[in-house]
């Protein structure tokens, strides 16, 4: 599933082609996504100028004068910038033709993504209760410490809760907890403020590095024959169960938490 760095990489890839462009035509080939594409979406969008392409958590916003298009990539979705007029493929469900002739095309084989409309994005139910962005000044160890008091939730589940902080998906939760030396099953309410400072910095560092590495694939968002713009990064623990810990060489262990793979070092993380 695309996580925050992949979504931010997508935003950076499509923004230069979309911002300031008038939407000439909207085609919805299959409205049956995670939530139905609004019937009136083409009418709302055609003739509008895309003022900005922004990201909030794992949502992308196409900001127009009249409102905002909310796009979520779901589990298998991708946005492509088509400049070669390639014909639509089987799972190309939504596309915008821009004044420049560029086509912004949404492909989603599993159809868990979404295209929605919001008159006022700040009041939209999916958006208004989201926690702070992990790379913002608002997100820090003190905030995590305060929100965790009396929580019996495992720390890995706590930092993956979008009401606490957005965009810390499974891969990056594994990596950040390893860097901070915190066991993924430790109760959130039993972690000191000093250790939360370490964890907040580890989350920022991990996501920032992933976004930076994702930037090397921006060219892949252009044209239909490009590879998906998701990067392969050097992971410290995720996907390395049974291999030596990069710090102490103890074999990394794997457990399942909420149905998700969780890899950690029993020696370095406590």
Q: Total structural domains in the chain?
A: 2
Is 102 within the bounds of a domain? yes
Q: By mean pLDDT, which of 26-35, 177-186, 207-216 is the weakest?
A: 207-216
Q: What is the largest CA-CA distance in the chain?
A: 60
Chain mean position to CA 204: 14
CATH number, position 119: 3.20.190.10
Is 185 within the bounds of a domain? yes
Is 195 within the bounds of a domain? yes
3 is catalytic: yes
Is 151 known as a binding-site position? yes
pLDDT of residue 233: 52
What mean pLDDT is predicted for residues 23-40? Answer: 97
166 vs 168: CA distance, rounded Å: 6
58 is catalytic: yes
Task: Show the tokens assigned to 43.
Answer: 């009418």
Q: How do residues 157-192 score in pLDDT, each as one tens digit?
A: 999 999 999 999 999 999 999 999 999 999 999 999
User: Same domain, yes or no, for 102 and 152?
Assistant: no
5 is catalytic: no
User: Same domain, yes or no, for 93 and 54?
Assistant: yes
pLDDT of residue 5: 87
Q: How do residues 212-266 score in pLDDT, each as one tens digit?
A: 877 434 444 555 444 444 445 578 999 999 999 999 999 999 999 999 999 999 9
Domain end point (choices 128, 155, 186): 128
User: Same domain, yes or no, for 76 and 97?
Assistant: yes
- The answer to whether the beta carbons of residues 262 and 256 sit under 8 Å apart is yes
Tell me which residue range forms the domain holding 69. 4-128
Q: How do residues 53-106 score in pLDDT, each as one tens digit?
A: 999 999 999 999 999 999 999 988 989 899 888 899 999 999 999 999 999 999
Is 17 known as a binding-site position? no
- The answer to whether the beta carbons of residues 207 and 6 sit under 8 Å apart is no
User: Same domain, yes or no, for 88 and 185?
Assistant: no
Q: Which of 3, 6, 8, 175 is catalytic?
A: 3
User: Same domain, yes or no, for 118 and 172?
Assistant: no
134 is catalytic: no
Domain end point (choices 128, 153, 182): 128
Is 270 within the bounds of a domain? no
Is 57 within the bounds of a domain? yes
pLDDT of residue 3: 84
SS3 120: coil
pLDDT of residue 2: 77
pLDDT of residue 213: 76
Q: Is the pLDDT of residue 199 over 70?
A: yes
Q: Which of 11, 55, 58, 80 is catalytic?
A: 58
Is 91 known as a binding-site position? yes
pTM for this predicted structure:
0.88
CATH number, position 181: 1.10.8.50
């Amino acid at each position: 599933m695309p996580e925050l760095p992949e979504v931010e990489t997508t935003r950076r890839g499509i923004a230069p082609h979309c911002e300031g462009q008038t939407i000439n035509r909207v085609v919805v080939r299959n409205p049956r996504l995670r939530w139905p594409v609004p019937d009136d979406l083409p009418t709302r969008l055609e003739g509008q100028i895309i003022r900005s392409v922004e990201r909030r958590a794992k949502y992308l916003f196409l900001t127009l004068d009249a409102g905002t298009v909310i796009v979520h990539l779901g589990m298998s979705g991708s946005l492509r910038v088509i400049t070669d007029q390639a014909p639509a493929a089987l799972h190309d469900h939504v596309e915008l033709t821009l004044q420049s002739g560029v086509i912004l095309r949404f492909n989603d084989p599993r159809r868990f993504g979404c295209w929605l409309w919001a008159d006022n994005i700040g009041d939209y139910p999916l958006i208004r209760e989201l926690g702070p962005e992990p790379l913002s000044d608002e997100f820090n160890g003190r905030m995590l410490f305060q929100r965790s008091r009396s929580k019996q939730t495992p720390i890995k589940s706590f930092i993956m809760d979008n009401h606490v902080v957005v965009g810390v998906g499974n891969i990056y939760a594994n990596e950040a907890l390893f860097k901070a030396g915190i066991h993924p099953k430790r109760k959130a309410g039993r972690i000191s403020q000093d250790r939360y400072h370490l964890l907040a910095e580890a989350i920022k560092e991990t996501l920032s590095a992933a976004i930076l590495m994702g930037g090397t694939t921006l060219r892949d968002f252009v044209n239909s024959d490009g590879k998906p713009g998701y990067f392969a990064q050097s992971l410290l623990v995720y996907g390395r169960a049974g291999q030596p810990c990069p710090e102490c060489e103890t074999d990394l262990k794997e457990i399942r938490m909420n149905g998700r793979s969780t890899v950690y070092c029993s020696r370095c993380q406590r």
